[in-house]
Amino acid sequence: MRIHVSFLILPFLFLLAGCGGLVSQDTDQRGEIAPILTSEEAFDDQTFAKPQEARVTHIDLDMAMDFDAKTIGGTATLDVLAADEASEIILDSNGLRVSAVTDEAGNALTFDLGETVEGKGEPLTIQLPVQKLERDAELAEGELASTHRIVIEYVSAPGAEALQWLSPEQTAGGEHPFIFSQGQAINNRTWIPTQDSPGIRQTWQATISAPEPLNVVMSGVIQGDPEPEDGNRRDFRFVMNNPVPPYLIAIAAGNIEFRELGPRSGVWAEPEVIESAAQEVGDTEEMIDAGIALFGDYRWGRYDMIILPPAFPYGGMENPVMTFLTPTFIAGDRSNNGLVAHELAHSWSGNLTTYSSWRDGWLNEGVTSYFENRIVEEVYGKERAEQEYALSYAGLVGGIDEVGADNPGTAMRTPDAISPFDTKGFAIYDKGTVFLRTVENIIGREKFDAWLTQWFDSHAFEPVTSEMFLADLRKKLIGDDAELEKRLMLDKWVYGTGLPENAWKADPQAFAEVDGAAAAYANEGTLPNVDAWRDWTAAEQRRFLEELPQDLSDEQLAALDTTLGLSQTGNNEVLFLWLEAALSNEYGPAVPQAERFMATMGRNKFVSPLFTALNETDWGKPIARRIYAETRSSYHAYTRGNVDKTLQYEGSAGTALSD
């Protein structure tokens, strides 16, 4: 069952506009109140919130960054929509230090921070004010509006997992500190006291104070120029008027500058990086056009990006109007730009329509990976798209092979029996892509595209579930065509493990030449022709390295490196595959470079597997430990958590929020 909240606050604003002027209202405007889902499948077991009783509809942050204490503190003013009989609201917290909670007038409200639950944090229960917000007389009976406003005074803990505070040495410029946040999945509760669940959408606004000369960006629209305040600080103001899941609230600050790319897009980066960054993301406007042509309007206004320092633990994060990117994708030839297409595609799949629970990961990431490939096809052509699809397909087959086709972590919808975060990456990203490619090919591209476009459109700014996705597909594309239903195998894809037999295979022609060269190397030891290697696309080079035999001798590795110049490559995806092959074969000469690679970047996708490779041999174990002792403190909590587990790092338990 779904609760429809039909009330829009817009009529109220128009009323205001009639007697005052709407324009100056920009920072105090509450957008549409988004619905929540109440079906069993939509249930999020990672939040303490009880949104059917009371839920947050808007957040207003007024915060100051403290780079010495490594904390952000101030007030969060929350608009709450509560059932008439509700007397309290439950928020999510993880380590927040709450000093006071009041109503708007400053009257104290009772609050309680409950017991900490490992991984989830603690519930913050607040007694709702007796005084309700005034409802506008124009509202019809039964219409819903936010009913209460509460003010929370707090500061984040120094070890807050959402925030990474970088020393100047961790930046390109080396002179100024840097901070960025990573909310997804459930980290934002370490710096924002709200209901941290993807199904509870909220509009927000923020005023953030930061020391000069740092610039602040957020995943909201900046309001005017920063305003100077006391003590060489400046205030930056942001607004997000579309209701978003709170994991999408993001912040970064550093010595960064902006470069315009086109009418809708631009990029932020440190001055040392801005030129190569702007060059690399130069196809962004074209990608936005492709996205719109494929699956409908871009509804967020601007699409800007920030290139973060290499400590950022992910490749990218789709924070609305401000995608966060690792600098490690910059290769000089735009060959890793699938990443940009991916984060942009989330503007539809993930940010516009969002999974209601973490168990539906594929609805965000799988749909986005499919969408990414379609953008790549439009912008870079069919050949490149087919190659990238083939890499994805191989990743899926390899992944299933490794963990077993009956492993519950290979089901796209995470089964109840396992943690929502235990579904394998390849089952979310690659199986999701292959699933949608399969459906596309059975249904026909034209029909499927029209369906997907209306799916985004009719659930814009709303939470969705696997069940809703399948029901809509059945209703609009299958009807009572039993034959078609059988061919599609929808339930098998979404709820079943392993790889359904109707999977749309990668085109064997995509890598015909490379696969031939890989076979020649594996069978006869013949190295590829150097000129051919240089002419290969990055995807082709990656394919060759992925097809290398598992066991390689020092002589073979030395010959591969000297002939193909692997350790010299400017593409980090290629370099990573080389280092992984070298380290898992105990190849000493690669260690210094691996060590530099692992010390200068915190991207989990690169760092974690290299530690795993080292940890698998007696030769590598002490090397891994030596490197980690140096690098651990520079890694993000996410990467640190993964490597801690791999290396069974002592004292790893409970370090997440140590201060």
Nearer to ligand BES, 461 or 606 (CB): 606
Judged by CB under 6 A, the residue of 236, 314, 393, 578 near ligand BES is 314
Residue 320 binds which one of Zn ion, ligand BES, none, with CB within 5 to 8 A depending on kind?
none
* 8 A C-beta contact, residue 216 and residue 252: yes
Judged by CB under 6 A, the residue of 196, 365, 580, 586 near ligand BES is 365
Tell whether residue 342 is a contact of ligand BES (CB under 6 A).
yes
Judged by CB under 6 A, the residue of 339, 411, 506, 574 near ligand BES is 339
Residue 459 binds which one of ligand BES, Zn ion, none, with CB within 5 to 8 A depending on kind?
none
Nearer to ligand BES, 312 or 578 (CB): 312
Choose the catalytic residue: 122, 318, 343, 372: 343
Tell whether residue 360 is a contact of ligand BES (CB under 6 A).
no
In the three-class reduction of DSSP (H, G, I as helix; E, B as strand; rest coil), residue 202 is classed as: strand
357-376 residues in contact with Zn ion (CB under 5 A) are: 365, 368
One-letter amino acid at 210 equals A
**What DSSP line would sit under 394-461, residue for residue?**
HHHHHHHHHH-TT-GGGSSSPPTTS-TT-S-HHHHTHHHHHHHHHHHHHH-HHHHHHHHHHHHHHTTT
Residue 429 annotated among the catalytic residues of the structure: yes
Tell whether residue 391 is a contact of ligand BES (CB under 6 A).
no
Minimum CB separation of residue 326 from ligand BES in Å reads 7
**What DSSP line would sit under 527-551, residue for residue?**
PPPHHHHHHS-HHHHHHHHHTS-S-
Tell whether residue 346 is a contact of ligand BES (CB under 6 A).
yes
308 to 347: interface string for Zn ion, x by CB under 5 A: ----------------------------------------
* 8 A C-beta contact, residue 243 and residue 202: yes
Nearer to Zn ion, 58 or 359 (CB): 359
Judged by CB under 6 A, the residue of 9, 249, 317, 331 near ligand BES is 317
* 8 A C-beta contact, residue 205 and residue 189: no
Residue 185 binds which one of ligand BES, Zn ion, none, with CB within 5 to 8 A depending on kind?
ligand BES
Minimum CB separation of residue 373 from ligand BES in Å reads 10
Tell whether residue 245 is a contact of ligand BES (CB under 6 A).
no
Minimum CB separation of residue 97 from ligand BES in Å reads 25
- Residue among 323, 278, 269, 325 nearest 300 (CA): 323
Q: What are the start-end ranges of the E strands in 67-192?
A: 71-82, 88-93, 97-103, 111-113, 122-127, 148-155, 163-166, 178-181
578-607 residues in contact with ligand BES (CB under 6 A) are: 605
Helices 445-458 and 466-473, packing angle to 10 deg: 130
Q: Is the Cα dihedral 608, 612, 618, 619 positive or negative?
A: negative
Minimum CB separation of residue 429 from Zn ion in Å reads 7
Q: How far is CA 224 from CA 51, 208, 238, 243, in A?
A: 34, 13, 9, 22
Among the residue ranges 264-272, 309-317, 375-383, 563-571, the one whose residues contact ligand BES (CB under 6 A): 309-317
Length of the chain: 659
**How many residues line the site for ligand BES (CB under 6 A)?**
15
Choose the catalytic residue: 314, 393, 429, 587: 429
Tell whether residue 318 is a contact of ligand BES (CB under 6 A).
yes
Tell whether residue 431 is a contact of ligand BES (CB under 6 A).
no
Strand partners, 191: none
* 8 A C-beta contact, residue 105 and residue 132: no
Structure tokens of 121?
């944090």
Residue 316 binds which one of Zn ion, ligand BES, none, with CB within 5 to 8 A depending on kind?
ligand BES
Minimum CB separation of residue 21 from ligand BES in Å reads 39
Minimum CB separation of residue 168 from ligand BES in Å reads 25
Q: What are phi and psi of 207, to 5 degrees?
A: -120, 120
Tell whether residue 359 is a contact of ligand BES (CB under 6 A).
no
Tell whether residue 343 is a contact of ligand BES (CB under 6 A).
yes
* 8 A C-beta contact, residue 431 and residue 495: no
Residue nearest to ligand BES (CB): 315
Strand partners, 59: 78, 204
Contacts of 186 (CB under 8 A, 6+ apart): 46, 47, 92, 94, 119, 120, 121, 196, 247, 358
Structure tokens of 226?
């920063």
Among the residue ranges 128-136, 310-318, 402-410, 480-488, the one whose residues contact ligand BES (CB under 6 A): 310-318
440 to 479: interface string for Zn ion, x by CB under 5 A: ----------------------------------------
CA gap 213, 255 in Å, rounded: 7
CA gap 224, 227 in Å, rounded: 9
Residue 343 annotated among the catalytic residues of the structure: yes
Nearer to ligand BES, 368 or 584 (CB): 368
178 to 217: interface string for ligand BES, x by CB under 6 A: ------xx--------------------------------
Neighbours of 645 (CB within 10 A): 13
User: Any idea which residues carry the catalytic annotation?
Assistant: 343, 429
Residues that bind ligand BES (CB under 6 A): 184-185, 314-318, 338-339, 342-343, 346, 365, 429, 605
Residues that bind Zn ion (CB under 5 A): 365, 368
